[in-house]
Amino acid sequence: MKNRFLTLILVAVAVVSCGSKDIIEERYLASATTDVTLYSIDENGNVSEAQTMVRGRKVKANYGKGVKVEKQKYYPIEITRKQYFYAKEQSLVATSKEVVKEKSIWVRTPASIITDCETSLIGGHANKGEQLTVLDFDSLRTDGKVHRYKVKQGNLVGYVYGKYLVFSKSDAEKRYKAEQYDKVHKAIKNSFGGGEAFGCDFYPTERVKFANNKMPEACYSLYLNISPSVIGNIEKYIDFAKKTKINTFVIDIKDNECPGYKAEAMQKYSPTNYRYAGKNKEAMYKNAVKRLHEEGFYVVGRITCFKDSHLVKDHPQVAITEKATGKPFKHNKAYWPSPYDRQVWQFNVELAKEAVRKFGFNEINFDYVRFPDRMTKVEKLIDYHNKYNESKVQAIQRFVQYACDEIHAVGAYVSVDVFGEAANPGYTTAYGQYWPAISNICDAICGMPYPDHFSNGYYGIKKPWNHPYEILKAWGERVQGRQAVTPTPAAVRTWIQAYPVMRHVDKNGLRYDAEDVEKEIRGLYDAGLTGGYTTWHSGSNLEKYKAQKDAFRIDYLKEWKKKNKK
């Protein structure tokens, strides 16, 4: 051990020795950025950069063989058994809590400031380019980046995820690959008041993977509602599914005015949802999810967000209101909490987290992640209570960002439902769904292109509801266009029509039995959308599913790969 740290140390006139004996102490590398610069010092006292190391690494420093060049102290650290470099004195700290040196940080991607990490409580919002004071941090990742910073914004103290923050104002103000993406999003029109696409953020999302929770490459999914005759008879659905290629079930947790079980989050945030939830359903949910997992199925919990009359009854202040009266605005026979309101965000996310923790859902599916539709005539008569002066597309994207961050933290994936219209090029939707802004963040994006929702002649197809293959293929091709301008696109898992064409659309419409459902799915796959499907049949009627059985017995992904030699 004697003189081992001396192999590269030749002290000349320009270098003042700080000691003579080996004094080996363990230290952590610290920096105001993710990396720590290490140096070589030659016999003439010339200091040169040698390499960098990620901050937070534990090293052995020799405080007995330090040197001083001009006014800076350096101490040798062991890199390998035969190689040593110097670190500046201030880059070596005694504890892992001291490794983060930055005093300020800048916002690259607009993000929520969380004041209570346990309950995902949002205290404020951090805008792009804004400077925040660093007070502390929770943990350091292996790449030297902070997981969450504790920051101060004016008088507000809270936490922001480090992945949205950078070390300089100039980096914060940059847009991701502006030369490639800005022209695309600037060309999108705001014809219906949904907001400028350019106002959203398109920095790549760090995709998560959970060791004990693998999302199928293609989810072949059956939807189940909250009825005891459905989830209470889970064995019958399991028996049916095992005779098909179905590998996923989507189960309602909360639909508008139809809460599933008496969740603690409902009791705390929405007593009316709690009151109307099923008294004995928690055991039913627990058994259903447990049995589905035992049989190898992937299980998704569905929650409707911004259409919730019960929540509005409990908290009228979070509602979209009439300007003239100040009363909650009723739209499509329901009251809508404002998608701008962070209290609404928190309730839905806390409900989701509880479901994951309590039952073990693999994924949370959010529906009604939008503003009300068909509002053009009344837009000026209502108040959305837009506290942070956001556009609709910004609010929706930021909710998805917040929801993904908080739900990923408990080990589950997030999928988001969007109208089929969101696949159309050229404009942002009136209700705030801009496909690339959502797909860039969530784990799976779930369009709802039900054939009987398309008007006659749409995409040039006469009575599209009676041409399931043609309409889904045409729609899917447009989805590919939206995915192509998304830096980190989500998996595409599409809701398909599993119910007969509504009579008000066409009394001679198709029944949507096995042949028609198969045509829908093949239309999606022939358009290259290979993430799978979910049946939309609100009744979740097993006899109806049995009539469609042949469509569910096909492994469409396997066929697609064979056809495309993947």
Those residues with Cβ within 8 angstroms of residue 223's Cβ, 6 or more apart along the chain or in another chain: 249, 250, 302, 498, 534, 535, 536, 537, 540
In a domain, 425, yes or no: yes
Same domain? 122 vs 72: no
Burial of residue 394 (CB within 10 Å: 0-12, 13-18, 19+) is buried
In a domain, 153, yes or no: yes
Q: What is the pLDDT of residue 83?
A: 82
Same domain? 83 vs 124: no
Q: What is the pLDDT of residue 102?
A: 98
Distance of CA 303 to the CA centre of its chain: 15
CATH number of the domain residue 398 falls in: 3.20.20.80
Q: What is the pLDDT of residue 17?
A: 58
Same domain? 273 vs 417: yes
In a domain, 379, yes or no: no
Q: How many domains does the chain have?
A: 3
Q: Model's pTM, two decimal places?
A: 0.95
Same domain? 122 vs 235: no
Which residue range is the domain that position 456 belongs to? 217-307+343-369+388-564
Same domain? 468 vs 523: yes
Instruction: List per-residue pLDDT tens for the chain, 566 residues long.
Output: 334 443 434 333 344 555 568 999 999 999 999 999 999 999 889 999 999 999 999 999 999 999 999 999 999 998 877 788 999 999 999 999 999 999 999 999 999 999 999 999 999 999 999 999 999 999 999 999 999 999 999 999 999 999 999 999 999 999 999 999 999 999 999 999 999 999 999 999 999 999 999 999 999 999 999 999 999 999 999 999 999 999 999 999 999 999 999 999 999 999 999 999 998 899 999 999 999 999 999 999 999 999 999 999 999 999 999 999 999 999 989 999 999 999 999 999 999 999 999 999 999 999 999 999 999 889 999 999 999 999 999 999 999 999 999 999 999 999 999 999 999 999 999 999 999 999 999 999 999 999 999 999 999 999 999 999 999 999 999 999 999 999 999 999 999 999 999 999 999 999 999 999 999 999 999 999 999 999 999 999 999 999 999 999 999 999 999 999 87
CATH number of the domain residue 152 falls in: 2.30.30
In a domain, 508, yes or no: yes
Same domain? 412 vs 544: yes
Same domain? 89 vs 127: no
**352-355: long-range contacts at Cβ-Cβ below 8 A with a sequence spacing of 24 or more?**
352/253, 352/301, 352/303, 352/403, 352/407, 352/412, 353/120, 353/265, 353/406, 353/407, 353/410, 354/263, 354/264, 354/265, 355/253, 355/263, 355/301, 355/303
Those residues with Cβ within 8 angstroms of residue 214's Cβ, 6 or more apart along the chain or in another chain: none
In a domain, 376, yes or no: no
In a domain, 54, yes or no: yes
Helix (H, G, I), strand (E, B) or coil at 243: coil
Same domain? 136 vs 155: yes
Residue with tokens 């001679």: 508
Same domain? 461 vs 358: yes
Same domain? 36 vs 113: no
Q: What is the pLDDT of residue 43?
A: 87
CA 257/CA 255 separation, integer angstroms: 6
Q: Is residue 356 within 8 Å of 411, Cβ to Cβ?
A: yes
In a domain, 522, yes or no: yes
Q: What is the pLDDT of residue 417?
A: 98
Q: What phi, psi does 77 have (nearest 5°)?
A: -125, 150
Same domain? 547 vs 435: yes
* Cα-based distances in Å from 521 to 136, 266, 300, 469: 50, 36, 20, 7
Q: Is residue 399 within 8 Å of 345, Cβ to Cβ?
A: yes
In a domain, 193, yes or no: no
Same domain? 526 vs 549: yes
Q: In the listed set 82, 98, 114, which residue is the last one of a domain according to the structure?
A: 98
Q: What is the pLDDT of residue 82?
A: 76
H or E, element range at 35: strand 35-41
